[in-house]
Amino acid sequence: MALRWFAAYAVLEIAAFVAMVMTLGFGWAVLISLAAVVLGVVVLRWQGRKVFGELQRASRNEVDARAPLADTALVAVSTLLLVIPGVVSTVAGTLLLFPPTRRVMRPVVVAVGARRVATAMDRAGVYATGVYGAGRGATVVEGSVVESDTSEPGSASTPFGTRGLPQGR
């Protein structure tokens, strides 16, 4: 699957560069490609400082942390797109650096991030509880938790109290 995405990307980049060469000439195509990279790096420095400043304010609880975190993820993606050689990736990376584009993309990043965190938490919970074999021939015993009315030291109902271990040092 990754090979298909890479092949589609390569075909798109080659087609865009060939179209620029056919329309403008080789020299102008190379010049525009280099100018797009330089413009992207300049915008990256400008917006990067701004986003990291917002992250610092969010760490001090001065602003809501969700927007700067999503913007940081988008700046990281745009940086990756700017580093990858090609006209299409450079234009996409440069567009992603501008605040209106990031504002439009922010809900997508939050949704994807929430889905990935939920998946990771499900996997971690399943492995931590040991029920990862449930549904595949494993035996699951259902039960209920019964609370005790006793609150004496060392009883199972007190926090951190376990019978048989020394208490209170």
What's the whole-model pTM score? Answer: 0.54
Joined tokens for residue 137: 């021939």
Average pLDDT along the chain: 75
The answer to whether 77 touches 96, Cβ cutoff 8 Å, is yes
CA–CA distance from 21 to each of 85, 100, 112, 138, 157 (Å)? Answer: 16, 31, 37, 63, 77
| Tens-digit pLDDT profile for residues 26-35 | 999 889 888 8
User: Measured between alpha carbons, how far is 43 from 95 in angstroms, rounded to an integer?
Assistant: 10
Q: Is the pLDDT of residue 78 over 60?
A: yes
Joined tokens for residue 151: 């609150």
Q: How many residues does the chain have?
A: 169
Q: Which residue has better confidence, 162 or 67?
A: 67
Residues 6+ apart with CB under 8 A from 157: 147, 148, 150, 151
| Tens-digit pLDDT profile for residues 83-116 | 777 888 888 888 888 889 888 988 888 888 878 8
